[in-house]
């Protein structure tokens, strides 16, 4: 595996973004968000996704100069228009705004319409936790998941992020509502492995662990079957209603032009009604119990975000793993 220092990855992304015309500070933040995703092991939405991000700038899907604009506000709830600016920058700014609202009002919610792909959603959960507040955010996506009972994609594989600050290591859930993403299915297929559990339907309509069959049927499973199907719908509904923006059924199914997404950023500040010390103690106790050694050997229980910190530390020490072809491509940009 090829590894490069974080700084080299960041500098390269920064150079390309500046060359594309990004204003200096925005280029720095955008490069950092991509580099952080790779640093934390979310390779699919870090460097590996950068070429498509550049393509979306070149094909006019993303307007690199657009900044989100406040459309309506009522106390701790605000509606913003993303104006098809770069998704990671729009999302970062809206989570910053939700955090600021929560520090003033206890809670803050920013609903963002007309944005583009935010890449790694977890970034914005870590952002809230780093600011000492609970962060909850999600996005809708293009239609790529059949709801339970249907065979054609009518909901999005909408990711939901819930982040809780903890001085000893934030707890951050970053999950999409399908059991396996198409990226994960491709990885299993290329390694010649079956999925560990059923991941979707085969072309005959039977549940299967064969990733290639699911890629062929285009019928991945929502988590919890009917439950994840319902959850996907609710995330789309709440996002579109609050932002006044578009819903999954209105978003192009061409991933190279995915745009007009609706997102929600919620921040809740526990320190506004309690003390950070008590909150930290409660979180530590919950995690300690969750990770109790098992009665019998061989078990491994991980809390959400635990693996991220381990990979982050390893990648900062040894360098960030990169796909040589993608790395060369980005270096040549």
Within 270-329, which residues bind a second copy (CB under 8 A)?
270, 272-274, 278-279, 282-283, 285-286, 289-290, 292, 294-296, 299-304
Element (H, E) at 311: helix 306-318
- Does position 183 bind a second copy by CB under 8 A? no
- Does position 156 bind a second copy by CB under 8 A? no
In this structure, are strands 77-81 and 2-4 parallel, antiparallel, or unpaired? unpaired
**Cβ distance to a second copy smaller for residue 149 or 324:** 149
| Distance between CA atoms of residues 314 and 23, nearest Å | 32
- Does position 169 bind a second copy by CB under 8 A? no
Q: How far is the CB of 12 from a second copy (least distance, A)?
A: 33
Cβ atoms 184, 198 nearer than 8 A: no
Q: How many residues bind a second copy (CB under 8 A)?
A: 80
**Cβ distance to a second copy smaller for residue 60 or 274:** 274
Cβ atoms 81, 68 nearer than 8 A: yes
| Distance between CA atoms of residues 44 and 71, nearest Å | 33
Cβ atoms 79, 121 nearer than 8 A: no
Q: How far is the CB of 289 from a second copy (least distance, A)?
A: 4
Q: Is 65 a catalytic residue?
A: no
Looking at 9-17, 28-36, 49-57, 169-177, which segment touches a second copy (CB under 8 A)?
169-177
| Distance between CA atoms of residues 238 and 138, nearest Å | 10
- Does position 168 bind a second copy by CB under 8 A? no
Catalytic residue among 2, 45, 117, 249: 45
Element (H, E) at 227: helix 226-243
- Does position 236 bind a second copy by CB under 8 A? yes
**Cβ distance to a second copy smaller for residue 62 or 266:** 266
Binds a second copy by CB under 8 A, chosen from 64, 173, 186, 326: 173
**Cβ distance to a second copy smaller for residue 86 or 199:** 199
* 3-state class (DSSP) for residue 104: helix
- Does position 105 bind a second copy by CB under 8 A? yes
- Does position 121 bind a second copy by CB under 8 A? no
Q: Please, which residues bridge with residue 176 across strands?
A: 159
Terminal Cα-to-Cα distance of the chain (whole angstroms):
22
- Does position 216 bind a second copy by CB under 8 A? no
Binds a second copy by CB under 8 A, chosen from 95, 111, 112, 137: 111
Cα→Cα distances 2→36, 319, 320, 324, 328, Å: 17, 9, 8, 7, 11
Binds a second copy by CB under 8 A, chosen from 5, 21, 224, 255: 224
**What single-letter DSSP state applies at residue 143?**
S
**Cβ distance to a second copy smaller for residue 25 or 152:** 152
Q: What is the dihedral of CA 189, 193, 198, 203, to 10 degrees?
A: 40
Of 23-52, binders to a second copy (CB under 8 A) are: none
Of 71-100, binders to a second copy (CB under 8 A) are: 71-79
- Does position 217 bind a second copy by CB under 8 A? no
**Cβ distance to a second copy smaller for residue 50 or 180:** 180
| Distance between CA atoms of residues 275 and 197, nearest Å | 42
Catalytic residues: 45
């Amino acid at each position: 595996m090829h590894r490069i220092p974080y700084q080299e990855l960041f500098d390269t992304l920064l150079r390309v973004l500046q060359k594309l015309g990004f204003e200096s500070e925005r280029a720095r933040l955008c490069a950092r968000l991509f580099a952080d995703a790779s640093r934390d092991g979310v390779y699919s939405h870090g460097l590996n996704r950068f070429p498509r991000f550049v393509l979306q700038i070149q094909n006019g899907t993303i307007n690199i100069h657009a900044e989100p604009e406040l459309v309506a506000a009522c106390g701790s709830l605000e509606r913003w228009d993303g104006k098809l600016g770069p998704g990671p920058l729009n999302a970062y700014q809206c989570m910053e705004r939700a955090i600021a609202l929560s520090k003033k009002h206890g809670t803050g919610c920013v609903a963002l319409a007309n944005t583009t792909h935010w890449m790694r959603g977890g970034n914005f959960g870590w952002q809230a936790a780093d600011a000492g507040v609970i962060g909850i955010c999600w996005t809708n996506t293009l239609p790529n998941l059949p709801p339970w009972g249907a065979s054609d994609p009518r909901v999005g594989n909408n990711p939901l992020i819930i982040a809780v600050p903890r001085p000893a290591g934030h707890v951050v859930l970053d999950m999409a509502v399908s059991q396996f993403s198409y990226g994960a299915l491709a990885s299993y297929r290329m390694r010649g492995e079956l999925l560990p559990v059923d991941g979707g339907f085969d072309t005959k309509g039977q549940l299967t662990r064969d990733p290639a069959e699911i890629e062929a049927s285009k019928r991945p499973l929502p988590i919890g079957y009917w439950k994840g199907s319902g959850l996907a719908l609710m995330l789309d509904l709440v996002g579109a209603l609050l932002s006044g923006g578009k819903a999954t059924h209105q978003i192009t199914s061409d991933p190279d032009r995915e745009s007009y997404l609706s997102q929600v950023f919620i921040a809740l500040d526990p320190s506004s009604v309690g003390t950070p010390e008590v909150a930290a103690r409660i979180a530590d106790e919950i995690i300690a119990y969750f990770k109790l050694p098992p009665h019998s050997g061989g078990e491994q229980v991980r809390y959400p975000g635990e693996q991220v910190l381990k990979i982050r530390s390893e990648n900062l020490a040894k360098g960030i793993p990169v796909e040589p072809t993608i790395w060369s491509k980005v270096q040549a940009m």
